[in-house]
């Protein structure tokens, strides 16, 4: 009941103010014409509401988040530039891919060397410090290896010749030859495997001619 009474009282006061303003009974500034006294307060109220509305609009624009917009015109202007950059980069990428070297083809493995060749060459270089071996003639079907010797062999002491012959026998057996013969260039036999026991047997033969 108090709220309704207050509302009714407020409405009555507003009606009274409107009536007094219409009759020119409300006070106005001295610069305002007396003939227009009834318009002063409505105009002042309208200006106040307009100013208040402007202030509220400024506050809303100031504190409200600005939505992100995408300009279609700008995107259409950027698109040709992007296409141009892509056209410049793409050929370079293709060129690099085409110019990249192809992986080299694997070389075919060299054919296996016969067992009697490479090991004999190693025998000549590693186990012949005096340079006595002129050639090696393997006979795999007989398990036999012939070493042809040259003149330095005859100049070696007997003990040295025995040691060297036994070493060559050991190497030849490591290569798969059970028998070893040392021969002179003319074919004379200088040493052979002992038939009884082990090791090499040195034979007396005519001197090896000078190379």
- Confirm whether pTM is higher than 0.75: no
pLDDT band at 108 (very low <50, low <70, confident <90, very high): low
Of 121, 131, 122, the residue nearest 211 (C-alpha) = 131
Distance in Å from the first CA to the final CA of the chain: 149
Least confident of 16-25, 44-53, 108-117, 147-156: 108-117
Stretch 105-118: mean pLDDT: 48
Stretch 121-137: mean pLDDT: 78
User: Which run of H or E residues covers position 63?
Assistant: helix 37-63
Partners of residue 189 on adjacent β-strands: 183
pLDDT for res 203: 86
Sort strands 144-149 and 179-183 into parallel, antiparallel or unpaired: parallel
Q: Give the Cα separation of 97 and 89 in Å (integer).
A: 12
Q: 11 vs 1, 6, 15, 78, 101, CA distance in Å?
A: 15, 9, 6, 63, 96
Least confident of 17-21, 72-76, 149-153: 72-76
Segment 37-47, tens digit of pLDDT: 677 777 778 88
Segment 195-209, tens digit of pLDDT: 887 889 998 655 665
Residues 17 and 26: beta-carbon distance below 8 Å: yes
Q: Quickly count: other Cβ atoms within 10 Å of residue 114's Cβ.
A: 11
Q: Give the Cα separation of 81 and 113 in Å (integer).
A: 66
Segment 71-87, tens digit of pLDDT: 544 555 556 655 665 56
For the record, the structure tokens of 36 come out as 């227009």
Q: Give the Cα separation of 65 and 78 in Å (integer).
A: 27
């Amino acid at each position: 009941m108090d709220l309704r009474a207050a509302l009714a009282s407020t409405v009555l006061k507003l009606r009274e103010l409107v009536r007094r303003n219409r009759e020119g009974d409300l006070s106005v500034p001295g610069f305002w014409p007396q003939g227009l006294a009834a318009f002063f307060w409505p105009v002042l109220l309208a200006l106040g509401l307009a100013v208040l509305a402007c202030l509220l609009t400024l506050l809303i624009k100031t504190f409200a988040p600005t939505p992100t917009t995408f300009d279609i015109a700008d995107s259409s202007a950027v698109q040709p530039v992007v296409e141009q950059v892509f056209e410049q980069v793409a050929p370079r990428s293709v060129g690099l891919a085409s110019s990249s070297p192809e992986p080299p083809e694997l070389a075919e493995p060299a054919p296996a060397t016969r067992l009697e060749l490479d090991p004999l060459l190693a025998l000549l270089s590693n186990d012949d410090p005096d340079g006595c071996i002129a050639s090696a003639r393997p006979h795999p079907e007989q398990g036999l290896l012939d070493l042809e010797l040259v003149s330095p062999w005859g100049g070696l002491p007997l003990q040295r010749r025995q040691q060297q012959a036994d070493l060559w026998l050991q190497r030849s057996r490591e290569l798969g030859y059970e028998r070893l013969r040392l021969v002179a260039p003319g074919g004379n036999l200088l040493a052979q495997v002992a038939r009884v026991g082990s090791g090499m047997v040195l034979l007396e033969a005519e001197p090896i001619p000078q190379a």
